[in-house]
Amino acid sequence: MFKRIAIVLLGLGLIVTMTAAVMAADMGNERKGKFLFRKNCRACHQDGQSAPALNPDSKTQAQWERIFEKNKYEDFECSAEWTKLSEDDLKDILAYVHGHAFDSPSPAKCK
């Protein structure tokens, strides 16, 4: 999984100087990302469930980028869930949370 993410990040590394909007677009498809986020993350990350509620606007764009780029998930309790996701899935989820992050043009909860 780590290698697969590293490949993704290598790809992303080529565009780090580009605009945030373009960057978000190259991360993946945010519509698919919303579906995957709800399917894979929201089951636990919401009020009344086992993990703290998590929405795209829970973090800034930079925070989301760091989480995905630095493979922070390896320290998470749900790291096993992360490893089940494909590279494309991760790109899509990042596109969604990044596009609606706390400091994005359209901050949003996951409804």
Partner 1 sequence: MSSSNINRPISRRNFLKWSGAAATAATVGGQPRVLHALTAAEGAAAGEDTAEKVFSICDMCLNKCGLIARVEDGVVAKLDPNPKFLKSRGMLCARGNAGIAQLYDPDRLKYPLLRKGKRGEGKWQRVSWEQALDYAAEKLAAIADQYTRCGVLFSPGSDTQSQFVHRFASVFGSWNVVTHESNCLISRNRAYLDTFGEVPFADVLHSKYIVMAGANRFEALITPDSIDLMTARKNGQKLVVLDPRYTKTAALADEWYPVRPGTDLAFFLALAHVIINEKLYDADYAAEKLSGMEELTAHVQPYTPEWAEKETEIPARHIRRIARELAAAAPASMIYPGRRTSDYVNSTQIRRAMAIVNALLGNWDQPGGLLAARQVGLSSPSLPDAPWYDDNMMERADHGRAHMMFEEEGSFKHMRDAIIEGEPYPVKGWFVYKMNPLQSGANQAKTLQMIEKLDFMMSVDIAMSDTAWMSDLVLPAPSYLERLDPISGLQGSAACACVATRVPAVPALFESRPVLWILKELANRLDLGEYFDFDMEWYRKEQLKDLPDAEKALAEDGVYYNPSKLYGIYEGKIYRTKSKKIELHNVRYKEMGLDPIPVYTPPKPIPSDKFRLVLGRNAMFTHCTTNHNRLLNQFMSENTLWIHPDSADRLGIGDGDPVVVKSPVGRESLKAELKPGIRKDTVYMASGWGALSKGLSGVHNTGACVAALMEDYADALSGNMAMHETFVSVARKGAA
Smallest gap from residue 87 Cβ to partner 1 (A) = 17
Smallest gap from residue 1 Cβ to partner 1 (A) = 22
Q: What angle do CA 51, 75, 106 make, to 5 degrees?
A: 60
For the chain, give the longest Cα–Cα distance.
Answer: 41
The nearer residue to partner 1, 21 or 74, going by C-beta atoms, is 21
The nearer residue to partner 1, 60 or 71, going by C-beta atoms, is 60
| Spatial separation of the C-alpha atoms in residues 71 and 82, rounded to whole Å | 10
| Spatial separation of the C-alpha atoms in residues 21 and 109, rounded to whole Å | 19
Residues that bind partner 1 (CB under 8 A): 19-21, 29, 31-32, 35, 38-39, 42, 46-47, 57, 60-61, 102-103, 105-107, 109, 111
Is-contact 91 8, C-beta < 8 A? yes
Smallest gap from residue 11 Cβ to partner 1 (A) = 19
Smallest gap from residue 3 Cβ to partner 1 (A) = 26
